[in-house]
């Protein structure tokens, strides 16, 4: 019996294939997915559209992110692989308004405009649209079977409706014992983090400390050579990394490598909706937080990046228990529209913010990071570091909305207006921030190894 493997198409990219036992899938919220397939040639694929069109007049660095430029590129690729546009059939999904809609709707009708542009391009090419389910208020999954050419749109909570499971909530003692079984973030990475946060070191001191941990050094060098950090010049030694990347990027790569290993302790029947989902959500938050900090100039972009990486560390602990309530938890978030914090309180008696703060204190994190971890879902409660917490809340919200499908999450929008005011941003500036998130941050195939 032939086994079909499922492969995720990340936001802002497309995937074109010939007949194969593969099911391509895109998790869609505000983003729009278009599945195209020519049954005669056996060529097809999915494009996962992030935005309607480029936000500036300059030629986009990643044209595949937009409906106006990405869909024509996708069609050209299918033609190049042997497809005939006359035989292609299309399925369109997504473009939802995920969460409460107010006069300051975070999506700015981004999904609706992306859908309109995509349909216009398909009609211009006389491509038949077999099915279109767009708009609404739900998260969905678009799938394309690359062997049969059949596509389907299903609710994100499909197959997760069993609410009769028996479950006993873990005690505080259970949580403490579970934390002892986790492989912690390496001490070398934590020491480097404290050195940088306290501004008590130079780049050479960081490299010297890193060289003491051969495993972390190897992971760091591998990450340094990825498209995310360099990808242009081969970096073979830590000295090369120091010279070619500079202090900021080297430190980022060290912390990212350490956090990637830590988040990899989660499975795919918990918070992660795809392989490495929790890590990629954290990475997306880190990159987005860095961008927001750079625009607002309220906090250090480097520190915002680190805070974005670490804000969800408590989920790794709770993930040890979530498998037992996964169907109910998933349905509560995606069908009943409950936010993740309320669901955690219901099933665990605590939240990933509290468990994360516990771990952060245990590992002697700087106070600013502890506050981010504890209050990133309730930024109004932050005290000394409200601007940093507000930036991470906003980054978390944007990644959860526009890169749906990485992890199980629903964020309360009630804090959006106050967080924007705290850091001096407006709703109108959000599309530019979303546009600035590099697609290479979500290249799951290259970075999950």
Instruction: Please list the pLDDT of the chain residue by residue as tens digits (449 residues).
Output: 456 788 888 888 899 999 999 999 888 878 899 999 999 999 999 999 988 888 777 777 788 989 999 999 999 999 999 999 999 999 999 887 655 445 445 556 788 889 999 999 999 999 999 998 887 656 788 999 999 999 999 876 544 444 445 566 788 888 888 888 888 888 888 888 877 766 656 777 778 888 888 888 888 887 777 766 655 567 777 777 777 777 778 888 888 888 988 988 876 557 776 677 888 889 889 989 999 999 999 999 989 999 999 999 999 998 888 766 766 777 777 666 678 888 888 888 899 999 999 999 999 888 999 999 999 999 999 999 999 999 999 999 988 877 766 677 778 888 998 999 999 998 888 888 888 776 655 554 444 44
> Phi/psi zone of residue 82: left (φ > 0), alpha (ψ -120 to 50 degrees), beta?
left
pLDDT number for residue 160: 45
The answer to whether the beta carbons of residues 350 and 337 sit under 8 Å apart is: no
Domain 5-155 fold is 60s Ribosomal Protein L30; Chain: A; (3.30.1330)
The pTM of the full predicted model, rounded to 2 decimals, is 0.77
**For residue 96, what pLDDT is reported?**
73
The CATH number assigned to the domain with range 172-447 reads: 1.10.3210.10
In angstroms, the CA 118 to CA 66 distance is 9
Domain ranges of the chain: 5-155, 172-447
Q: What is the pLDDT of residue 22?
A: 93
d(CA 157, CA 160): 5
pLDDT at residue 69, as a whole number? 94
The reported pLDDT for the residue numbered 148 is 94
| Domains 5-155 and 172-447 agree in fold | no
């Amino acid at each position: 019996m032939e086994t079909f493997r499922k492969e995720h198409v990340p936001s802002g990219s497309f995937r074109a294939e010939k007949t194969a036992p593969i099911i391509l899938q895109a998790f869609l919220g505000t983003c729009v997915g278009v599945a195209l397939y020519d049954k005669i040639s056996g060529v097809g694929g999915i494009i996962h559209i992030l935005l309607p069109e480029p936000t500036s007049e300059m030629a986009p660095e990643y044209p595949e992110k937009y409906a106006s430029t990405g869909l024509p590129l996708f069609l050209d690729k299918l033609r190049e692989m042997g497809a005939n546009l006359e035989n292609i059939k299309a399925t369109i999904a997504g473009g939802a308004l995920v969460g409460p809609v107010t006069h300051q709707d975070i999506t700015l009708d981004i999904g609706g405009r992306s859908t309109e542009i995509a349909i216009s391009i398909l009609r211009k090419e006389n491509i038949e649209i077999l099915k279109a389910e767009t708009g609404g208020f739900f998260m969905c999954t678009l799938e394309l079977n690359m062997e049969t050419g059949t596509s389907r749109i299903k609710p994100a909570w499909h197959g997760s409706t069993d609410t009769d499971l028996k479950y006993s909530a873990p005690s505080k003692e259970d949580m403490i014992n579970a934390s002892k079984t986790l492989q912690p973030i390496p001490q070398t990475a934590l020491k480097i983090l404290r050195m940088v946060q306290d501004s008590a070191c130079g780049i050479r001191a960081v490299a010297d400390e890193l060289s003491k941990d051969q495993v972390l050094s190897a992971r760091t060098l591998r990450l340094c050579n990825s498209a995310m950090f360099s990808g242009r010049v081969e970096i073979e030694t830590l000295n090369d990394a120091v010279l070619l990347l500079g202090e900021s990027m080297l430190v980022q790569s060290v912390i990212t490598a350490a956090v990637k290993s830590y988040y990899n302790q989660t499975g795919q029947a918990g918070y992660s909706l795809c392989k490495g989902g929790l890590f990629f959500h954290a990475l997306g938050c880190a990159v987005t937080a860095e961008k927001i900090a750079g625009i607002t100039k309220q906090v250090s972009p480097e520190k915002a990046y680190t805070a974005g990486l670490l804000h969800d560390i408590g989920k790794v602990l709770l993930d040890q228990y979530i498998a037992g309530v996964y169907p109910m938890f998933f349905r509560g978030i995606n069908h009943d529209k409950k936010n993740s914090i309320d669901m955690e309180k219901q099933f665990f008696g605590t939240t990933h913010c509290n468990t994360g703060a516990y771990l952060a204190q245990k590992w002697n994190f700087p106070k600013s990071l502890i506050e981010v971890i504890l209050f990133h879902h309730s930024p109004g409660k932050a005290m000394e570091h409200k601007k940093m917490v507000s930036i991470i809340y906003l980054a978390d919200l944007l990644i959860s909305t526009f890169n749906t499908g990485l992890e199980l999450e629903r964020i309360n929008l009630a804090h959006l207006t106050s967080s924007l005011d705290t850091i001096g941003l407006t709703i109108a500036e959000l599309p530019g921030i979303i546009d600035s998130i590099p697609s290479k941050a979500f290249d799951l195939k290259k970075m999950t190894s």
